[in-house]
Amino acid sequence: MLNDKIIVELPSNFEELKKDAFRTANWRERMRAIEELGQWESRQTIEILRRIVAEDAVYKVQEAAYSKLKALGETISPPVRKKGDPIKDTTKILLRIKKSLPEDHTLEEFKEKLQKMRIDVYDTYEGEKGADFDQWLENTWSSLSKK
């Protein structure tokens, strides 16, 4: 439920922030957009933040939007960390990338190709795994079958 005291003014860069808030290939941009949108109490900004809490693939992004909504006095349930892969068929995607590389490719080559071909996957897992991302990627890469 929106507060009674809704400010109708929007930031001058609202359209840009809106795009950044849903930019699937850059969780850092989404965090920056949330930070700025959370300073404006308007129906539009609150709706964007609510959508992020409900739909973003990166839990810490959902948490940031939730915190902004709470600070604005909104009644909202906290986000629930999803079980399983944040992106459907991640293993298939990664296997396809591994198979597209020479048999003797390195982890670094795999990482670079993943970034180029599926930045959305790369970015989501980087955001979800944080400091453990490189170890997760190495473990996943080494466990993928080449067949």
Q: Buried b vs exposed e over 9-26: b needs ≥16 C-beta within 10 Å?
A: ebeeebeebbebbeeeeb
| 1-13: average pLDDT | 64
- Model pLDDT for residues 75-119, shown as the tens digit of each residue: 999 999 888 888 889 999 999 999 999 999 999 999 999 999 999
Residue 144 near residue 98 (C-beta atoms within 8 A):
yes
More confident residue, 82 or 53: 53
Residue 45 near residue 38 (C-beta atoms within 8 A):
yes
| 127-142: average pLDDT | 95
Q: Where are the domains of the chain?
A: 14-71, 90-143
Q: pTM (2 decimals)?
A: 0.82
The number of helices, as runs of H, and strands, as runs of E, in the chain is: 8, 0
- Model pLDDT for residues 111-128, shown as the tens digit of each residue: 999 999 999 999 999 999
SS3 state at 137: helix
